[in-house]
Structure 1
């Protein structure tokens, strides 16, 4: 029977680089299966742990603390003929123009020419979800800045990852089996783009709050303050044990 877990690469918000850029890796039997988000510090943590670039990657949105490693990842992949074009990049269709604009559109990805940014990847655009290694992953909209620009990911029976978001109780209630651990954006104080702990305590019922594992906070002291309120708080390098996925048809 396979062993499943989320390995936590980083948990910090855009200012908390000492906590690593927010990112996790779904592992099966200790091997990386899917990386979620690719900030600069997250890519460094991934390479240090697995000794090779990711073979599959999902992006939640295009703020630089979540995609700043993508230029360096291009170099890692493109200049290795065995890996060039093999990394499966699962990209919500609405984000394709944003990744093109923010990352891929720099004139001349290589000074000597002859390469397109997308040559390094196998891009798989999607809307409501995607298949990866025989499993169906649900993709859902988050509430972060403008509508249609940020998304979360769920694997039924195993986990939900919100990405950066305000409270989305109605989305979470409709996902999975109703028992999966939820890695949720949360700081001490909320703002128009991110959840604060008082927002979640006000809007989520106790059964949903009990499933939350918080990340994307502002400092180690903030994490301690969240724990003092009875919250479960993720830290870099942690492994969060998961149940095996439940089969879905997509």
Structure 2
């Protein structure tokens, strides 16, 4: 069955019209794993799929990536079929940050009697994790402060950089199987994000040719990135992925 990546939002924190940077790995036309949970991105998810996500990976805790969690809590907690079953794959160093940002409130419901994590199945992850029998890899990226942001690899199909400065050393290790690379890039860089000059300086042309850029500041900036020869993601765009070569659980059975 075919694999694809759907960009729900592609903008930076101020580019509301482009949506918060969030995507979905699809398998057989259905949502398989959602990356992040921004406010505008969650709205786009529900608009497209007619429901809320059932499994998410969290890259980091800036609000444009986690602001949708209160809505997701309400959707899951008040649905007996979903309560405690929405999977959240969270890199271990991010768990206390996520709890402080979205889970640590005296009464998550006005009536009391509920904990934020009651709605979810929190799965703390390290260098790799299994989702529906497929192994995904996790790696640290360069986003403002060490051990606060992570990328994701579905071997042979996709590398999602998350918000980051250039990470050629990580892509040399985690993007060596001809994966599509979805990479943070704006027209101008800063200490937390890649600018196009950084991208062109740090990566060779063969690596750049496999990239789709997201997390830019405006439609005009997206057009400027395209004018420089780069492939730039658009909100709602769906890209076919290669069949993953990642290990699968059935290989180890019997």
Alignment-derived partner of residue 54 in structure 2: 55
Task: Give the corresponding residue for 1:194.
Answer: 193
In the superposition, relative to structure 1, how do residues 133 and 249 fare at CA in structure 2: closer, same or farther (>3 Å)? Answer: closer
CA–CA distance in 1 between the matches of 2:50 and 2:125? 29
CA contact (8 A) 1:10 1:24 kept: yes
- In structure 2, distance between residues paired with 1:101 and 1:54: 22
CA distance in 2, matches of 1:156, 1:247: 5
Question: Does 1:239 pair with 2:234?
Answer: no
Aligned positions, number: 249
For 1:208-239, what per-residue CA distance to the aligned partner results, in whole angstroms no more than 9, with x for missing partners?
A: 11111000000000000000000000000101
Q: Secondary structure at the match of 1:236?
A: coil
Partner of 1:84: 83
Distance 1:249 1:147 in 2: 31
Task: Quote the Cα distance in structure 2 between the aligned partners of 1:177 and 1:150.
Answer: 21
TM-score normalised to structure 2 length: 0.96
2:223 — aligned with what? Answer: 224
Structure 1 moving runs of 4+ over 4 Å: none
CA apart distance, 1:129: 1.4
1:148-167 aligned at under 5 Å gives the runs: 148-167=147-166
* Structure 2, unaligned runs of 5 or more: 250-254
Q: Deviations over 1:32-73 (max 9, x none)?
A: 000001100011011111111111000100000000001110
Aligned partners of 1:95 and 1:140: how far apart in 2? 13
Q: Residue 135 of structure 2 contacts residue 246 of structure 2 at CA under 8 Å; is this kept in 1? A: yes
Give the aligned partner of residue 143 of structure 2. Answer: 144
Q: TM-score, normalised by structure 1?
A: 0.98
Aligned to 2:64: 65
Alpha-carbon offset, residue 177 of structure 1: 3.7
Distance in 2 between residues matched to 1:249 and 1:80, nearest whole Å: 31
